[in-house]
Amino acid sequence: MRAILFLLLSTSLFGIQNNTIYENGQLTFSSGNLHEIRDDVETSVRGYLSDIKTKLGHEAAHEFPLLKQVNGFGESEHLVFQQTENDIPVFGKTIRVHINQKGLISSLSSNVRSINISTIPSFSKMDAMSILKDELPFSKKSYLKYKELLIYVKNDSPHLIYSIESISFEQSRNNLVDAHTNEIVDLFPLTFDEGPTTGSGVNLLDEPVDLLHIYEGEAFTPFGNIATPNLVCEEFCFDYGDCDGQNYWGCTITASQGDCLDGELEDCNGDCFSEWYMQFPGVGNGFCNDPWIEIDDSQLSTGMYNMVDESHPELGTIYTLNSYGGFYEDLSYVNSTTTNFELVNITNSHQSGVSAHDYQRKTLDYFWDYHNYAGINGTGKRTISVVNYFSTSSISQRNAFYNAALDILTYGYGGNGYRPFCAAQDIVTHEFSHGFTAHTSGLIYRNQAGAMNESISDVMGYFVEAVYQDGGDWTEGEDVRYSGEGGRSFIHPPSHQQPDHINHYYFVDYNPNPLWSNDFGGVHTNSGIPNKIMYLVIQGDEHYDIIVEPFEDDIVQSRIVAGNIWFAWNSFYLDKEDDFDIGREKMLQACYDLYPNRLDYYQTVSNAWASTGIGSPILSGDVNDDQVVNIQDIIIMINIIMGNWDATDTQLILGDINSDGIIDILDIVGVVNIIMN
């Protein structure tokens, strides 16, 4: 158990009490009237960090390099300092400083650690890459990419590591190899670019789409190669069927781990690859999926008009590719002989292409229009969508996924009650938002960090759908199913086997060994909790006897507030390994920094989290903050009215029962009614 000390101080800043949190004797959170910015922002912040370096637990905290300095909503500013030891970055360890609209440091979070380790490698990076070639899914069609030398803290023990990415199409990951022992310490899945013109088409819901940004000819910018492991041999049913001219319907795969790591298999060349890949093309699908998929986009077939959108180059080009009839076989740009994409022949994937292309354009536009975020990485990187892949594997074509290493979005053909998975705006935005997270907070796809990662994708899907589809709805993916039933519910997550409280039957406890087989510690299950929180702050409701007021009575305005908070939360506040408790604290920070004069918003966020079992609620009428409304609160309110008590803004909010901007006799009557009822 982590030893965490919460100190609630008696002073306040514009209504929010100073909240200081220590973990193992080190300051991890602080909010309030912390420091006034004078002259140069960075210099002023460093001066403050120097003043509190002992509390932060690191004497060089004020000397850490500035990793990021970003302007946020409403003249707020956010600075991130990267912990280093002997100029070597410490993975995921940062000090985050947030400056509000009034030029005050209003909150700070830190997860820095005291590091005691030699920073001189015992093995070279070439040694590390050599061991990866032997132990990871590596083939002549894949490649390794050295990133940097880092310090990585695992189970409270620091390791000097080489960060090396292994890149293949289906399974890419970041490998952390100990530079002292040449052993793999950890690894993260990275799977958690003649002229522009316009056209039209019909989407998968048989709706006309009057504006598609497309490309006439093939003079657009290319985007690179993709590759997969070798599975053409008996152990893999000759790549799941028919590659040797035989029929393998019902074939049993006999692949083995061999000399590979746990969770990996040997391919036909003896190279290792993650068993996660086995969820793609299924046994006996009737197609020979040649394993040496190496596709240079210059080899992809094109037409007179192609689904390549260069209409907003600052937001990145959108490429939409057709994989109909196989899994990345015979890829082509979705294309047409005219500007109208509505061929009945489904092998052209016109309807799927129209849906994916249109929804991706709207996703990029939302992120830019509402949050000034450009492309999948925030700086205008291209987006690739592959539609209508076929497979009969354990996940089959009834799925969609995102490869973070390659920034590619992939949508299955569906079937058995499902449309192609690009049929839904919220699904398209969901997959894109995994890219947004990968390029911002970097939440790893494990346990509660992974659940927040998954939920952020759900939430952004809701926001975009709401903007472009008349307010949207409170389910996800309903347009993918012919029945119209959603795959998840924001209103009632348990209806889809997700918890809405940490004590709910469906809640998945922390898993020290998160694997694909256990959903990486329940990332798709526990995401129901932050999903429920999003619903509560926008719509308002009573949840487990805690009343949560919406941000605004006007749901459109309420959504905009929530969108600003969620975007800032993921972009500027969250760190890679944060859990729900830390996530709550950081969302409260984000809320207050964005809206320092709206403590009702702060109360809404606090109560929404509390209603799911995380943190404590803020109660209306509880002006002395003892978690109960009683005669003591009435006495304080009388003294406020009489001018005998200097009320904090928090007290003014909590005591203003009828929300008319003042505390008066009507509010006392309201408190009496609360006590009596």
Report the alpha-carbon distance of residue 503 to residue 488 in Å, rounded.
Answer: 19
Task: Report the percent of the chain where pLDDT is more than 70.
Answer: 85
Residue 425 contacts residue 362 (beta carbons within 8 Å): yes
Token representation of residue 622: 């509880």
For the domain bounded by 4-110, which CATH number is listed? 3.10.450
Assign 171 a pLDDT band (cuts: 50, 70, 90).
Answer: low
Q: At residue 596, what is the residue type? A: P
- Span 110-114, average pLDDT: 90
Report the alpha-carbon distance of residue 196 to residue 70 in Å, rounded.
Answer: 33
Report the alpha-carbon distance of residue 404 to residue 56 in Å, rounded.
Answer: 33
What is the residue-averaged pLDDT of the chain? 85
Residue 360 contacts residue 433 (beta carbons within 8 Å): no
Buried b (16+ CB within 10 A) or exposed e, 558-595: bbbbbbbbbbbbbbbbbbbbbebbbbbbbbbbbbbbbb
Residue 274 contacts residue 137 (beta carbons within 8 Å): yes
**pLDDT at position 212, please?**
96
- Span 650-674, average pLDDT: 85
Give yes or no for residue 32 having a pLDDT over 90: no
Which single residue is written with the structure tokens 């800032």? 568
76-93 pLDDT tens trace: 788 999 999 999 999 989
366-379 pLDDT tens trace: 999 999 999 998 99
Higher pLDDT, 638 or 17: 638
Helix pair angle (580-594, 528-539), 10° resolution: 30
- Of 331, 346, 313, nearest to 385 by C-alpha is 331
**pLDDT at position 446, please?**
87
Token representation of residue 652: 């003014």
HSE, side-chain direction, 13 A CA sphere, residue 113: 17
The DSSP output letter for 618 is P
pTM: 0.75
**pLDDT at position 518, please?**
86
For residue 553, the tally of other CB atoms under 10 A from its CB is 9
**pLDDT at position 12, please?**
27
- At 53 the three-state DSSP class reads helix
Strands (E), 24-99: 26-36, 66-71, 77-85, 88-99
**pLDDT at position 229, please?**
66
Residue 200 contacts residue 210 (beta carbons within 8 Å): yes
Token representation of residue 340: 């109208």
**pLDDT at position 140, please?**
54
For the domain bounded by 125-189, which CATH number is listed? 3.10.450.40
The DSSP output letter for 297 is G
Beta strands at 173-178 and 335-336: parallel, antiparallel or unpaired: unpaired
**pLDDT at position 108, please?**
86
- Of 172, 272, 285, nearest to 229 by C-alpha is 272
- Of 48, 47, 52, 46, nearest to 65 by C-alpha is 46
**pLDDT at position 435, please?**
87
What is the DSSP code string of 104-150? EEEEEEE---------S-SS-HHHHHHHHHHHSS--TT-EEEEEEEE
Assign 263 a pLDDT band (cuts: 50, 70, 90).
Answer: low
Higher pLDDT, 674 or 658: 674
Assign 22 a pLDDT band (cuts: 50, 70, 90).
Answer: confident
Assign 328 a pLDDT band (cuts: 50, 70, 90).
Answer: low
Assign 14 a pLDDT band (cuts: 50, 70, 90).
Answer: very low
- Span 432-447, average pLDDT: 89
Strands (E), 404-465: 408-412
Give yes or no for residue 6 having a pLDDT over 50: no
- Span 592-599, average pLDDT: 85
177-198 pLDDT tens trace: 999 999 999 987 665 437 899 9
User: What residue spans define the domains of the chain?
Assistant: 4-110, 125-189, 195-222+298-423, 234-279, 631-676
Assign 249 a pLDDT band (cuts: 50, 70, 90).
Answer: low
**pLDDT at position 100, please?**
83
**pLDDT at position 240, please?**
58
What sign for the dihedral angle of Cα 536, 537, 539, 540? positive
552-582 pLDDT tens trace: 999 999 999 999 999 999 999 999 999 999 9
**pLDDT at position 74, please?**
61
**pLDDT at position 337, please?**
84
**pLDDT at position 274, please?**
55
- Span 468-474, average pLDDT: 95
* CATH topology identical between 4-110 and 195-222+298-423: no
Q: Which fold has domain 195-222+298-423?
A: Elastase; domain 1 (3.10.170)
Give yes or no for residue 407 having a pLDDT over 60: yes
When mean pLDDT is compared over 214-228, 387-401, 526-540, 661-675, the highest value belongs to: 526-540
Query: CB within 8 A of 416, min separation 6: which ones?
Result: 398
Strands (E), 515-578: 541-543, 546-548
Tell how far CA 429 is from the center of its chain: 11
**pLDDT at position 11, please?**
26
480-532 pLDDT tens trace: 999 999 999 999 999 999 999 999 999 999 999 887 678 889 999 999 999 99
Give yes or no for residue 15 having a pLDDT over 80: no
**pLDDT at position 160, please?**
97
Give the chain's length: 677
H/E stretch holding 16 reads strand 16-23
270-322 pLDDT tens trace: 877 655 455 333 433 445 554 444 556 766 888 889 999 999 989 999 999 98
Give yes or no for residue 425 having a pLDDT over 90: yes
